[in-house]
Structure 1
């Protein structure tokens, strides 16, 4: 699945989200910048917990 630059997973542009939520665009982008790595780490930790570290490498 690919998205155009500036769209979220539902195809809404950041500006539209900003207008709908009354949150500035730069604030949304900043929150996204910090949320994505945190979310990836949490998912990785959960995956490791569920599957275990197989050490295939």
Structure 2
């Protein structure tokens, strides 16, 4: 998931450089959503791993 967030971020940067504002905005929004989903899944898996050890 972090890989896809990075891909969308790169697409947003390239689209922004070439002047495609709508595409850049949409790609940046998707990248941001994917990154936050990744963070939530990462934190939940860390907590579950700590709970299972006990």
TM-score calculated relative to the size of structure 1: 0.46
TM-score calculated relative to the size of structure 2: 0.48
Greater relative contact order (CA < 8 Å, ≥ 6 in sequence)? 2
